[in-house]
Amino acid sequence: MPRILARDIRFVLVEPSHPGNIGGAARAMKTMGFADLAIVNPQRFPDPQAIWRAAGAVDVVDGARVFAGVEQAIADCGWVVGTSARSRRVPWPVATVDQFAEQLAREDHGGKPVAVLFGREDRGLRNDELEICNLHVVIPANPDYPSLNLAMAVQVVAYEISRALSRTAPPSDATPSPLTHARDGGTPELPTDWDRSPATASDLAGLYRHLGNVLSTIEFQDPKNPRLTMTRLRRMFSRIRPDQTEVAILRGILTRIERTIARTH
């Protein structure tokens, strides 16, 4: 048995413009055994074209949840990956879709859902959205024309995950190891039988806001010109993948700093 179930894998479409692609994505998911579809701020939805393209997967379209922002769509997720055909200004942990699917199937996610983000048809995912992700996933394609249609990208990812889930052997009784490195690229794997749950996207968003405020208060960064400091810190935490207790400790430290400053001013 894989450690994660198909129902714990969420496909998140970020601001899709064509309802047909929503239907196509739903069909792609259902053919591979997935049903958790989240749509962030769609241009046109619900729409008859989504139903039409979904064919026999109308149930997935009907069950789709619509969110106002990416943060809300992934708040409860313990691992978030963003699919992208292009590399970005700050290098991020990157895996090919098959490497990602292998890691996903092998790892213990502490019962938390995993989110896979897909970008807009015309512009993909924005940098601030990619910076929420633990990992960037690429479908290897023609370097001169790597951009797949949105629903087709969903199909390839859903296919690779479903293959990896069906290949995964039962978990071994091997002694739990401290953070190990993913076998092929990716982010460090969570050790098995960890004593705490992984921090969720919402825990991390709270930490980043808190940290950003404190860094501005102590004038480590200019709030009007934060430069790349927060991006680099986000990347570091994405790489480390702290658990919920570690995030709580860091926030406790930040709160102490704030109180000490308030007392001395």
User: Which residues bind to ligand SAH, rule: CB under 6 A?
Assistant: 83-86, 118-119, 121-125, 138-139, 141, 146-148, 150, 153
CB nearer to ligand SAH: give 147 or 216: 147
Q: How far is the CB of 92 from ligand SAH (least distance, A)?
A: 13
Amino acid at the residue 86: R
CB nearer to ligand SAH: give 66 or 138: 138
CB nearer to ligand SAH: give 151 or 199: 151
CB nearer to ligand SAH: give 50 or 153: 153
- DSSP reduced 3-state for 116: strand
User: Could you tell me the two tokens for 93?
Assistant: 């942990």
* Total Cβ atoms within 10 A of residue 176: 11
Q: What angle do CA 111, 116, 118 make, to 5 degrees?
A: 160
Q: From CA 228, how far away is CA 235, in angstroms rounded?
A: 10
CB nearer to ligand SAH: give 86 or 167: 86
Q: How far is the CB of 27 from ligand SAH (least distance, A)?
A: 16
Q: How far is the CB of 147 from ligand SAH (least distance, A)?
A: 4
Q: From CA 158, how far away is CA 185, in angstroms rounded?
A: 20
Q: How far is the CB of 263 from ligand SAH (least distance, A)?
A: 48
CA separation, residue 238 to residues 60, 171, 209, 246, 256 (Å): 30, 25, 15, 13, 24
**Please, are residues 214 and 233 in contact by the beta-carbon 8 Å criterion?**
no
Compute φ and ψ for 182, nearest 5 degrees: -55, 145
Q: How far is the CB of 241 from ligand SAH (least distance, A)?
A: 22
* Total Cβ atoms within 10 A of residue 194: 14
CB nearer to ligand SAH: give 103 or 221: 103
Q: How far is the CB of 129 from ligand SAH (least distance, A)?
A: 10
Amino acid at the residue 234: R
